Amino acid sequence: MFKRVVLCCLALSFTFMASARADQEPTYHRALSPSEKAFVGSIQSDFNGRFPQAADAQNAGYVRYTNADETGAISYANMRWTSKDIRHPSQLWYDKRGNLLGADFSVPNTTGVRPHLFGVNPGRWYEFDDHVHYVVKDAATGKMKFDGYVMAPRFRKAGGDPKNPSADILVKMGRVKSTSQVATIFDFPAVWDLIVWVKPNPSGAFAEKNPLVKP
């Protein structure tokens, strides 16, 4: 789930006075329409069958890159940021026990116009600015450290290309001591993003948090 990423990116932009455009949150929070109910019902049926456990996501090519956020979600991304249909989310998220919680669908933000997709009100989509994520592995223990990120303007300033991020830039920036420590690095481009709870949520499938899930 990307809500925590929104807050992190805004904080980083403020701290370093980055020139990136401010992220936008959803503007529509009403009850689900019939087409939205159909969309949610379809992915609940599909994803609970194909991706019930985190291992299923990994087997399908999704890579973990976060710890549990304030909603209790641990995110896995497939680095494909154009969700062309409802069977292929850009992200899946799980609880600490590896049980499926929800999914993200994303569309590259090239026009600044919120998407009209899947029968979902455009006002439900989040906007995220371009940033680079990375995961660090401790060579001695094998333990993974998640949640590493650098906003695209700072990555470029250090001589890197966010579209083709290289671990040596993280070394140059002092984020890691050696490129061998970097287990995963990828660009999270500027996108419109839709978060959807697959786990039933009394607050609604598009709500930020689910009272049935404890962080």
3-state secondary structure 104-168: EEEEECCCCCCCCCCCCCHHHCEEECCEEEEEEECCCCCCEEEEEEEEHHHHHHCCCCCCCCCHH
pLDDT at 2: 52
- 151-to-9, 14, 35, 165, 195 alpha-carbon distances in Å: 7, 11, 36, 12, 21
Residue 215 lies inside a defined structural domain of this protein: no
CA distance 25 to 123: 9
CB 167 within 8 A of CB 179: yes
Tokens 């989040």 belong to 126
Residue 212 lies inside a defined structural domain of this protein: no
CA atoms within 13 A of residue 158's CA, in its CB half-sphere? 21
Q: Based on the domain organization, do 91 and 157 belong to the same domain?
A: no
Q: Based on the domain organization, do 181 and 88 belong to the same domain?
A: no
Q: Based on the domain organization, do 164 and 199 belong to the same domain?
A: no
Specify the pairing of strand 131-137 against strand 182-188: antiparallel
Q: Is 159 left (phi over 0), alpha (psi -120 to 50) or beta?
A: left
Q: Find the domain containing 140 and state its range.
A: 130-189
For residue 94, give both structure tokens.
């799980």
Q: Based on the domain organization, do 87 and 177 belong to the same domain?
A: no
Residue 115, φ and ψ in degrees, nearest 5: -70, 150
Q: Based on the domain organization, do 124 and 180 belong to the same domain?
A: no
CA distance 8 to 14: 10
Q: Based on the domain organization, do 122 and 141 belong to the same domain?
A: no
Query: Which ranges of the chain have pLDDT less than 70?
Result: 2-22
Residue 213 lies inside a defined structural domain of this protein: no
Which tens digit of pLDDT belongs to each residue from 109-152? 999 999 999 999 999 999 999 999 999 999 899 999 999 999 99
pLDDT at 12: 42
Count of structural domains within the chain: 2
3-state secondary structure 44-91: HHHHHHHCCEHHHHHHCCCEECCCCCCCCCEEEECCCCCCCCCCCCCE
